[in-house]
Amino acid sequence: MKKYLVSRINRPFVTAIVAGAALATPAFAEDLKQIFEKANQYYVEKNYAKALEELSWAQKEIEKANSQVTQGFFPAEFEGYKGGKIEGANIFGINSLEREYTKSGSSPIKVSLVGGSKSQGQNPLGGFAAIGQMAAMMGNQPGMESFRMDGRTATLEAQQDSSSLTVFLDGGSMLKFEQNGSGDGELLKKFATGFKIADIEKHLKG
């Protein structure tokens, strides 16, 4: 009975190892495998506190690999704009990645991918995103244009000296394009075409 139980326990660890290996380099996969082996060993020994600690480290490593994949959706250059360093943050369960694109003689464009962490099964940003999406679907508001981009609801707010384009992704995440110093909303629309919106959404949903 004990042997059967251990065999059943090992299955999710093996599955996770295979998934992690598909996302990362061989060195990373080996490290992750060792973490799961330790977690499984502690579980068998009924040292559950240590097993949970190892699993928390495994989660951190997988999150790093996931972030690296997400960053790959930010092109290094588009329409003559060159991307700077990608900045990431996690505040109250809301994850964000930002990259500023610069071009000589033009105002910089900041691109942000904002979404909630699903580690707890919920996206804390989902409610806010749903409200914005609902407002967009109700029709164009003063100073705001609503339209569809790659099959997703999007809004554009353009003023004389600034513009902002938001694409609402399924699951509560948002892809934002912002430019201060320019009200050229059409430029942001064109810039957004350089991002694989459908692929980003599919990756975030899993």
Q: Do 8 and 60 reside in the same domain of the chain?
A: yes
* Whether the Cβ atoms of residue 97 and residue 203 lie closer than 8 Å to each other: no
How many domains does the structure of the chain reveal?
2
Q: Do 128 and 174 reside in the same domain of the chain?
A: yes
Residue 44 belongs to what domain range? 2-70
Instruction: Quote the pLDDT of residue 153.
Output: 92
Question: What distance in Å separates the CA atoms of residue 174 and residue 192, rounded to the nearest whole number?
Answer: 13
Per-residue pLDDT of the chain (206 residues; tens, 9 = 90+): 444 333 434 444 434 433 444 444 444 555 889 999 999 999 999 999 999 999 999 998 888 888 889 999 999 999 899 999 999 877 766 788 999 999 999 999 999 999 854 544 444 444 444 545 555 555 556 678 999 999 999 999 988 899 999 999 988 899 999 999 988 999 999 999 999 999 999 998 87
Instruction: Quote the pLDDT of residue 116.
Output: 54
Q: Do 53 and 144 reside in the same domain of the chain?
A: no
Instruction: Quote the pLDDT of residue 196.
Output: 92
Q: Do 19 and 30 reside in the same domain of the chain?
A: yes
Residue with tokens 């092109």: 75
Q: Do 131 and 43 reside in the same domain of the chain?
A: no
Q: Do 12 and 48 reside in the same domain of the chain?
A: yes
What is the CB-side half-sphere exposure of residue 90 using CA atoms within 13 A? Answer: 10
Instruction: Quote the pLDDT of residue 143.
Output: 73
User: Of 38, 70, 102, which one is at a domain's C-terminal end?
Assistant: 70
Q: Tell how far CA 136 is from the center of its chain.
A: 22
Instruction: Quote the pLDDT of residue 183.
Output: 86
Q: Do 124 and 167 reside in the same domain of the chain?
A: yes
- Report which DSSP code applies to 24: S
Instruction: Quote the pLDDT of residue 176.
Output: 95
Neighbouring residues of 37: CB distance < 8 A, sequence distance ≥ 6: 13
Backbone phi, psi, residue 99, to 5°: -145, 130
Instruction: Quote the pLDDT of residue 95.
Output: 81
User: Of 55, 70, 85, which one is at a domain's C-terminal end?
Assistant: 70
Instruction: Quote the pLDDT of residue 3.
Output: 42
User: Of 47, 70, 93, which one is at a domain's C-terminal end?
Assistant: 70
Instruction: Quote the pLDDT of residue 88.
Output: 85
Instruction: Quote the pLDDT of residue 11.
Output: 43
CATH code of residue 142? 3.40.1000
25: nearest Cα among 54, 65, 57, 78 = 65
Q: Do 83 and 180 reside in the same domain of the chain?
A: yes
